[in-house]
């Protein structure tokens, strides 16, 4: 019996938590990026992924790492952990389906970077002075603004390219 308990604690328990984390983020990512296709179905997938991720976070923080927190601190930690995973899911889903859902990905990727970065700061209780907070906001702006503009430029160019191809294929354009 001791061997089973040791094997459970050494391998299976951490493995289950690990799977819950990554499966949760994967389902969150899929739910977010596919939401426009079938909102009801992908909302359920997003919710299930969120439940898996929050459950893994709870077990890891309070049973594995044995963190001592009051209820308010615990809720804050779990809330910002979930927001962090949603932000990562937005970036991941946007990247994976950029060619399929370009306009949506243009929103998801920069927004996910902002959401995940800010959530990371709050989840980890990183103290920032007013000057540091302003610097973080400026750096995020300097990162996501050109990224969003570049992604949008690319999507607009692809849309124009597809439009031009359709005109040429119909025999009604400059390509005939």
**What was the pLDDT predicted at 167?**
56
174 lies in some domain: no
pLDDT confidence of residue 171: 52
Q: What distance lies between CA 94 and its chain's CA centroid?
A: 9
| 176 occurs within a structural domain | no
For 127: left if phi > 0, alpha if psi spans -120 to 50, otherwise beta; the answer is beta
Asked if residue 155 is part of any domain, the answer here is yes
In this predicted structure, what is the pLDDT of residue 101?
81
pTM reported for the whole predicted model:
0.76
Mark the ranges of the chain whose per-residue pLDDT is less than 70.
Answer: 159-176
In a domain, 130, yes or no: yes
Q: What is the residue range of 137's domain?
A: 2-169
Whether residue 60 lies inside any domain: the answer is yes
Does any domain span residue 163? yes
What is the structure's pLDDT at 166?
A: 58
Structure tokens at 145: 């603004």
Give the SS3 label for residue 172.
Answer: coil
Is residue 175 included in any domain, yes or no?
Answer: no
The answer to whether position 71 is within a domain reads yes
Structural contact between residues 126 and 136, judged by C-beta atoms closer than 8 angstroms: no
The number of distinct structural domains making up the chain is: 1
Per-residue model confidence (pLDDT) at position 153: 92
């Amino acid at each position: 019996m001791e061997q089973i308990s040791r094997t459970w604690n050494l391998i299976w328990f951490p493995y289950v938590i690990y799977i819950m984390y990554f499966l949760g983020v994967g389902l969150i990512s899929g739910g977010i990026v596919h939401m426009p296709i079938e909102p009801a179905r992908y909302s359920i997938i997003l919710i299930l992924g969120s439940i898996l991720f929050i459950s893994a976070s709870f077990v890891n923080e309070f049973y594995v790492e044995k963190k001592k927190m009051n209820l308010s601190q615990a809720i804050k930690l779990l809330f910002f952990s979930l927001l962090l995973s949603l932000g990562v899911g937005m970036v991941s889903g946007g990247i994976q389906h950029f060619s399929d859902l370009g306009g949506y990905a243009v929103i998801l990727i920069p927004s996910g970077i902002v959401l995940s970065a800010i959530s990371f700061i709050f989840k980890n209780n990183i103290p920032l002075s007013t000057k540091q907070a302003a610097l973080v906001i400026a750096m995020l702006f300097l990162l996501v603004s050109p990224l969003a503009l570049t992604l949008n430029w690319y999507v607009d160019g692809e849309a124009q390219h597809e439009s031009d191809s359709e005109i040429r294929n119909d025999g009604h354009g400059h390509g005939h």
